[in-house]
Copies of this chain bind each other. A is one copy, B any other.
Amino acid sequence: MFLRNAWYVAAWDHEVGRALFPRTICGQNLVLFRTEDGAVAAFEDRCCHRNAPLSVGRLIGSEVECGYHGLAFDRAGACVRVPSQSQVPPGARVRCYPVVERHRWIWVWTGDAAAADPSLIPDMYWHTDPAWRLAAGGCLHAKCQYQALVDIQLDQTHSKYVHPTSFANEGAIRAPALARRDGRRLHGGRVMANSDPQPFMRRAADYKPALADVWIKWTYEPPCAVMFDTGIAEPGAGALQDRTKGNGITIFNTHFSTPETERSTHYFWASARNYKLDDPALDALMGKIHDIFSEDVAMVEAQQRGIEAFPNEPIIDVGSDAPTIQARKLVARLIEEEGNARRVA
């Protein structure tokens, strides 16, 4: 069960060009492509004639031609040509999804097109703002339900165990988890004065002292965007209130866990910094985040196998689960409201 009226990241901008690009999101097979003017379009990946995937056809100008019998569809999904006859049958069209290209990602709306408001796309200005360097990013495929990835992102008590050599942070285990609702958003994280900086952050900041002020703050936008503001600075200089103090560094990490199916996820991630914008060695270090997030994937994939092996066992909650429980309730409520709205309509 997925939230329908939502923007999902379907691809990085560079993944979609003048080739037909198939991708499944929320259990729906899509084909994405750029029209001649560079705009991105997304169709359901099936010809309305005999169900052949359009992605095995051809892109000709801004039209998609089915590879089976040559039916052609314009950028809005309307069939404009049936080669074997002069008329196009009424109703011959394929579903066309609302698409927005923003923040280096291609966003697709899976619900009612009339409700597709681009202002609902989470703000990730650091992906393109010249004051920031988008140093690393990618897409990991995870054989798990998407919410398991959101869970691991919202709860830093896992870092010591899942990322022992990189994001491990003793302080985060005992620091209280903050969580505050703000409309559809949830804000949370941990703010730790005089704590142990994560090994990775030490390296990124070239930071030597034993302790630092450490912050790991996130914003969750349902159903699957998690944006981190994380940094370290000299302790006691006020960096926890103002990041410019204390000679610290800030890194913003973005996570978007687009459901592929009920049990698999396209996990998009990006990492940006606002310092040393032109430093290839630092870019290379931040590229290693791929390996760190792959540790998350390995853990939630193992967890998924555990869930499937023990489908009926009760689970025990602990205190630090509060944000993830709140996030799941938020999504459940949105899905329920969506269902109610459809029943009324």
Task: List chain A positions with a Cβ less than 8 A from chain B.
Answer: 24, 29, 44-53, 56-57, 65-71, 79, 82-85, 89, 91-92, 151-152, 155, 157-158, 160-162, 173-174, 298-299, 302-303, 305-307, 309-310, 313, 315-320
Residues of B within 8 A of A47 (CB): 306
Question: Known interface pairs A84-B319, A310-B29, A320-B84. Does A302 touch B56 (Cβ–Cβ under 8 Å)?
Answer: yes
Write the nearest CB–CB distance from A55 to chain B, whole angstroms: 8
Write the nearest CB–CB distance from A39 to chain B, whole angstroms: 25
Q: A53-B306, A67-B302 are in contact. List 15 more A-B contacts (CB 8 A).
A: A46-B306, A46-B310, A49-B318, A50-B303, A53-B302, A56-B298, A65-B161, A67-B161, A68-B162, A70-B173, A83-B173, A84-B173, A84-B318, A84-B320, A85-B319
Residues of B within 8 A of A319 (CB): 84-85
Contact, CB under 8 Å: A310 / B68:
no
Write the nearest CB–CB distance from A57 to chain B, whole angstroms: 8
Write the nearest CB–CB distance from A188 to chain B, whole angstroms: 14
CB closest residue in chain B, given A306? B51
Most chain B beta-carbon contacts within 10 A, residue among A50, A56, A157: A50
A-B contact list, 13 entries, CB within 8 Å: A45-B306, A46-B309, A50-B151, A51-B306, A52-B299, A66-B161, A67-B162, A67-B302, A69-B158, A70-B157, A70-B160, A70-B161, A92-B316
Write the nearest CB–CB distance from A56 to chain B, whole angstroms: 5
Cα distance A305–B71 in the bound complex, in angstroms: 19
Residues of B within 8 A of A158 (CB): 68-69
8 nearest A-B pairs in the assembled complex, by CB-CB distance: A51-B306, A84-B320, A84-B157, A52-B303, A29-B309, A46-B306, A53-B306, A56-B302
Contact, CB under 8 Å: A51 / B318:
no
Residues of B within 8 A of A89 (CB): 316-318
CB closest residue in chain B, given A71? B318
Question: Known interface pairs A29-B309, A316-B91, A317-B89. Does A303 touch B48 (Cβ–Cβ under 8 Å)?
Answer: no
Contact, CB under 8 Å: B162 / A45:
no
Contact, CB under 8 Å: B313 / A161:
no
CB closest residue in chain B, given A85? B319
Write the nearest CB–CB distance from A204 to chain B, whole angstroms: 25
Cα distance A313–B313 in the bound complex, in angstroms: 37
Contact, CB under 8 Å: A174 / B303:
no
Contact, CB under 8 Å: B85 / A302:
no
Question: Known interface pairs A51-B306, A303-B52, A320-B84. Does A313 touch B69 (Cβ–Cβ under 8 Å)?
Answer: no
Residues of B within 8 A of A92 (CB): 316
Question: Known interface pairs A66-B161, A67-B299. Does A315 touch B50 (Cβ–Cβ under 8 Å)?
Answer: yes
Contact, CB under 8 Å: B309 / A49:
no
Cα distance A166–B133 in the bound complex, in angstroms: 51
Cα distance A79–B91 in the bound complex, in angstroms: 61
Write the nearest CB–CB distance from A304 to chain B, whole angstroms: 9
Contact, CB under 8 Å: A309 / B45:
yes
Contact, CB under 8 Å: B84 / A315:
no
Contact, CB under 8 Å: B160 / A83:
yes
Residues of B within 8 A of A298 (CB): 56
Contact of A48 among B48, B52, B316 (CB under 8 A): B316
Question: Known interface pairs A44-B310, A317-B89. Does A305 touch B53 (Cβ–Cβ under 8 Å)?
Answer: yes
